[in-house]
């Protein structure tokens, strides 16, 4: 009885093909997996229906009559809508500022897919008391996050005294 043995080169080829298929599968999984950057984002976690991510506010400033801050939005699930119109500011007496000053605003608008980040300045022209609250709303007007603002009082300047003692 003379059975035919499979050739060694055929066995090796099948093994190489299986390893190549596994390597390609792992590469595809790594490519399609959400970015690690999005999970490491800072800020407040927001969830708007099937979309979610982090929103953060930094660099809060008041210069003359312009109130501004830097907004960073990171989508982690779905697709977050980004628009300066979703931001507002409110003073302690209830005065609302909800129309951004587009001459000083750099935050764009559009749809932000999961794993992506948008960053820009949002500015308002303030014609009343300084804001004490920043609010971020979803596309349908649902309030998703707020930040309280505490303004530092300027230090009083020292009184000038006369060098002659009077």
The overall longest dimension of the chain from CA atoms, in Å, is: 127
* More confident call, 160 vs 38: 160
Please compute the mean of the pLDDT values over residues 111-120 and round it to a whole number: 95
Q: Is residue 24 one of the residues assigned to a domain?
A: no
* More confident call, 102 vs 162: 102
Give how many domains the chain has, as a whole number.
Answer: 1
Chain centre distance of CA 60: 15
Rounded-to-integer distance, Cα 86 and Cα 146, Å: 12
* More confident call, 50 vs 157: 50
Specify the pLDDT at position 34: 33
Q: Is residue 51 one of the residues assigned to a domain?
A: yes
Q: Is residue 164 one of the residues assigned to a domain?
A: no
Residue pointed to by tokens 């009077």 = 166
Rounded-to-integer distance, Cα 101 and Cα 124, Å: 5
- Per residue in 6-49, pLDDT (tens digit) is 555 555 566 677 666 665 554 444 443 333 222 233 589 998 78
Specify the pLDDT at position 21: 61
Does the global pTM surpass 0.75?
A: no
CATH code: domain of residue 94: 2.60.40.1240
Look up the domain containing 69 and give its range.
40-148
């Amino acid at each position: 009885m003379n059975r035919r043995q499979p050739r060694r080169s055929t066995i090796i080829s099948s093994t190489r093909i299986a390893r190549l298929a596994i390597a390609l599968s792992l590469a595809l999984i790594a490519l399609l997996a959400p970015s690690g950057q999005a999970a490491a984002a800072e800020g407040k976690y927001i969830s708007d229906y099937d979309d979610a991510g982090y929103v953060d506010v930094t660099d809060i400033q008041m210069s003359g009559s312009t109130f501004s801050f830097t907004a960073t939005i990171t989508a982690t699930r779905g697709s977050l809508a980004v628009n300066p119109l979703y931001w507002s500011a409110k003073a302690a007496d209830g005065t609302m500022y909800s129309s951004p000053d587009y001459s000083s605003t750099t935050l764009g608008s559009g749809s932000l897919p999961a794993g992506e980040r948008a960053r820009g300045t949002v500015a308002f022209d303030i014609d009343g008391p300084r804001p004490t609250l920043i609010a971020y709303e979803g596309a349908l007007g649902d309030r998703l996050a707020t930040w309280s603002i505490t303004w530092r009082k300027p230090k009083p300047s020292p009184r000038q005294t006369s060098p002659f003692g009077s």
